[in-house]
Amino acid sequence: MKPAHAMIVAGLCLTLVAPPPALAWNDQGHMATGAIAYDTLKAEHPQAVAAIVAIMREHSDRALFDQQLDGLTGAARERRMFAIMARWPDDARRGPFDRPDWHYSLRLVTPWGWFLPITVGKADRAFGDNLALARNPAAPRAQRAVALCWVLHIVGDMHQPLHGGHWLSLQYPKSDRSGSLAWVRPYPGAAPNTLHDVWDGIVDRPGSRVQGSEALARDVEAAHPRRMTPRDDREPMTAYRSWVAQSRVMARTFVYDGGHLVSATTPEAAPVLAVSYVVRARSLSEGRIAAAGYRLSDLLATVR
């Protein structure tokens, strides 16, 4: 075996044990997804909203929700609750509900991926298990409440392309850990940042996470109305796998530009991303957040 090929093979094996980053989308992205899911459910399946609100009263972390919902009533309180639900698994990190490997389902999207088609991360199994629990009226409400938060969060996570695919090459022989080892600058004069972090925050609006998420949800719903994401009536796992497959295609063809994306292994050498890349990344990410919110409303429509 040639030395370069041996390095790639060794890297392929190491990708199976290297833990990728747990975050996808910053707070604003997740909260906007939850708000969009609420808006759609409230319009199309208000009975599901009522059921979810009742279930969430038994959430094990209810004090945190009550604190952040203080002063809100009616639909405003419900909508903010959905936004916090979508973000909550990140808030729960390093606590009893932390599940680091539920946030991603990574496969190599490099041409070498065919050699070792292994999935890293447990998001797929966690999605199916939590959706079944959330929809089960016989299950304890405290468990259903936690499961609902995970469903909102996992669907949001898996619409971020770098939680579905990562890159391996001679430059990154142990993989780029879904962009967390690849350094870039989003614009001239910007501080270096990892490719993963750039994509997590590419949609963020100015202001606090609440103000920014509300502006983001408003902008996304205007640019990507519900009719652009028709109801998906397929079996949930079938639909979910197709959404993840879309993220992997997006990672390969756009995030990594088919292997042509230029990045650096050190912050000091981080190149500046092309303006066209950043503009399109923002547009595509907003579309993914919209799709995640609308698809969540379809998944949760039968909750009682």
Over range 216-233, report the average pLDDT: 95
> Residue 5 pLDDT > 60, yes or no?
no
Other CB atoms within a 10 A radius of the CB of residue 226 amount to: 17
Q: Is residue 71 part of a domain?
A: yes
Over range 202-207, report the average pLDDT: 96
Q: Is residue 18 part of a domain?
A: no
Residue 22: per-residue pLDDT? 55
Its domain, for residue 103, covers 3-12+23-300
Share of the chain above pLDDT 70, in %: 92
Over range 45-54, report the average pLDDT: 98
Residue with the larger pLDDT of the pair 198 and 117: 198
The answer to whether 180 and 196 are in contact (CB under 8 A) is yes
Residue with the larger pLDDT of the pair 273 and 10: 273
Non-local (6+) Cβ contacts of 95 within 8 A are none
> Residue 3 pLDDT > 60, yes or no?
no
**Residue 81 structure tokens:** 């609750």
The answer to whether 130 and 85 are in contact (CB under 8 A) is no
* CATH at residue 78: 1.10.575.10
Q: What span, in angstroms and rounded, lies between the C-alpha atoms of 120 and 104?
A: 8
Q: Is residue 162 part of a domain?
A: yes
> Residue 125 pLDDT > 50, yes or no?
yes
Bridge partners of 106, per DSSP, are: 120
Over range 145-155, report the average pLDDT: 98
At 25, the pLDDT band (50, 70, 90 cuts) reads very high
Which residue do the tokens 């981080």 mark? 270
Q: Is residue 248 part of a domain?
A: yes
Residue with the larger pLDDT of the pair 229 and 117: 229
DSSP 59-74: -TTHHHHHHHHTT--H
Share of the chain above pLDDT 90, in %: 88
Torsion 26-27-31-34 (CA) sign: positive
The alpha carbon of 7 is separated from its chain's Cα centroid by a whole number of angstroms, namely: 31
Look at the pTM and tell me if it is higher than 0.85: yes
> Residue 108 pLDDT > 80, yes or no?
yes
Tell which residue, 157, 160, 165, 182, has the closest CA to residue 113: 165
Q: What span, in angstroms and rounded, lies between the C-alpha atoms of 146 and 149?
A: 5
Residue 23: per-residue pLDDT? 64
Residue with the larger pLDDT of the pair 184 and 5: 184
Q: What total of structural domains would you count in the chain?
A: 1
At 116, the pLDDT band (50, 70, 90 cuts) reads confident
Query: Helical H runs in the chain?
Result: 3-14, 27-44, 46-56, 62-69, 74-91, 123-135, 141-157, 195-201, 209-223, 236-250, 275-300
Average pLDDT, the chain: 93
Q: What are the angstrom distances between the C-alpha of 54 and each of 50, 60, 145, 147, 153?
A: 6, 13, 9, 14, 19
Residue 6: per-residue pLDDT? 45
Q: Is residue 17 part of a domain?
A: no
Q: Is residue 213 part of a domain?
A: yes
> Residue 255 pLDDT > 90, yes or no?
yes
